[in-house]
Amino acid sequence: MTSPDFIALSQTSIQSAISPEVAIKLNEILLHDSVASTNDELWQRLSHGKSTPAACLSETQTAGRGRRGDLWHSPSAGNLYLSLFWPFPAETNTNGLSIAIGISLINALKSRGINNLQLKWPNDILYKRQKIAGILVESRYGKQLNTVIGIGLNFKLPTTTQNKIQQATTSLQHLCTDVPCRNKLAGKIIQTMIETLEQFQINGLHNFIPQWSDYDALADQAITLINGDEHFDAIARGINKQGELRYQHDGEIHTLSNSHVSIRFAS
- Give the residue numbers marked as catalytic: 67, 131, 264
Contacts of 107 (CB under 8 A, 6+ apart): 192, 211
Phi, psi dihedrals of residue 2, rounded to the nearest 5°: -80, 160
What does DSSP say about strands 28-35 and 222-227: parallel, antiparallel, or unpaired? Answer: unpaired
Residues 6+ apart with CB under 8 A from 140: 43, 46, 146, 147
Report yes or no: 189 and 105 within 8 Å, Cβ to Cβ: yes
SS3 state of residue 53: coil
Asked whether the beta carbons of 179 and 70 are under 8 A apart, the reply is no
The amino acid at 212: W
Helices 182-203, 97-110: inter-axial angle, 10-degree rounding: 140
